[in-house]
Amino acid sequence: MHPSSFPSKFWFLLIVLSFFLNFSPNCVFANSFMSCRVRTSCGSISYIGYPFWGWDRPESCGYPGFQLNCNQNMLEITIMSATYRVLEINNSTQTLVVARTDYSDSLCPTRFINSTFDTSPFRYNETTRDIRLYYDCPSPAGLENLTSFQDVSDQFECTINGASTRGYYVTTDFTGTAIGNFFGFCWNSVIIPVPISRVPLLVDNRDSDALEEAVRVGFGLRWSANDSRCNTCLNDGGQCGRNLNSNEFACYNCTDGDVCSTSSPAGKSSLFFMPGEISLVGFVDMEFPPFQFQFQFRVRHGCSLFGVRPNKLRVGRS
Ligand SMILES: *[C@@H]1O[C@H](CO)[C@@H](O)[C@H](O)[C@H]1NC(C)=O
Ligand SMILES: *[C@@H]1O[C@H](CO)[C@@H](O)[C@H](O)[C@H]1NC(C)=O
Ligand SMILES: *[C@@H]1O[C@H](CO)[C@@H](O)[C@H](O)[C@H]1NC(C)=O
Ligand SMILES: *[C@@H]1O[C@H](CO)[C@@H](O)[C@H](O)[C@H]1NC(C)=O
Ligand SMILES: *[C@@H]1O[C@H](CO)[C@@H](O)[C@H](O)[C@H]1NC(C)=O
Ligand SMILES: *[C@@H]1O[C@H](CO)[C@@H](O)[C@H](O)[C@H]1NC(C)=O
Ligand SMILES: *[C@@H]1O[C@H](CO)[C@@H](O)[C@H](O)[C@H]1NC(C)=O
Q: Give the structural domain span for 183.
A: 67-224
User: How remote is the CA of residue 188 from the centroid of ligand 4, in Å?
Assistant: 25
* Number of helices and strands in the chain (H, E): 6, 18
Do 128 and 205 belong together in one domain? yes
pLDDT per position as a tens digit, 242-255: 999 999 999 998 76
Compute, in angstroms, the gap from residue 205 CA to the centroid of ligand 4: 20
Please state the rounded mean pLDDT for residues 96-101. 96
Residues 20 and 155 in one domain: no
pLDDT digit string, tens, across residues 204-259: 999 999 999 999 999 999 999 989 999 999 998 899 999 999 999 999 987 655 56
201 and 299 together in one domain: no
| Residue 110 near residue 131 (C-beta atoms within 8 A) | no
Is 48 inside a domain boundary? no
What is the CA(54)–ligand 2 centre distance, in A?
A: 23
Q: Are residues 264 and 145 in the same domain?
A: no
Q: Whose CA is nearest to atom 1 of ligand 2?
A: 90
Closest atom of ligand 7 to 251 CA is: 5
Is the minimum distance from the CB of 112 to ligand 3 under 6 angstroms?
yes
Residue 29: closest CA among 68, 57, 65: 57
Q: Check whether residue 168 and residue 306 sit in a common domain.
A: no
DSSP state letter for 119: T
165 lies in the same domain as 300 = no
* Contact (Cβ atoms closer than 8 angstroms) between residue 194 and residue 131: yes
Task: Give the number of domains in the chain.
Answer: 2
Give the helix ranges, DSSP H, for the chain.
6-21, 32-36, 178-183, 199-205, 208-217, 227-235
Q: Which residues line ligand 6 (CB under 6 A)?
A: 224-226, 248-249
Residues 176 and 290 in one domain: no
Residue 229 CB partners (closer than 8 Å, separation 6+): 240, 249, 251
* Nearest atom (ligand 1) to Cα of 48: 14
In eight-state DSSP terms, residue 53 is B
Q: Is residue 230 part of a domain?
A: no
Q: Domain check: are 200 and 262 in the same one?
A: no
Note the ligand closest to the C-alpha atom of 198.
5
Give the model confidence (pLDDT) of 41-82 as tens digits.
999 999 999 999 998 899 999 999 999 999 999 999 999 999
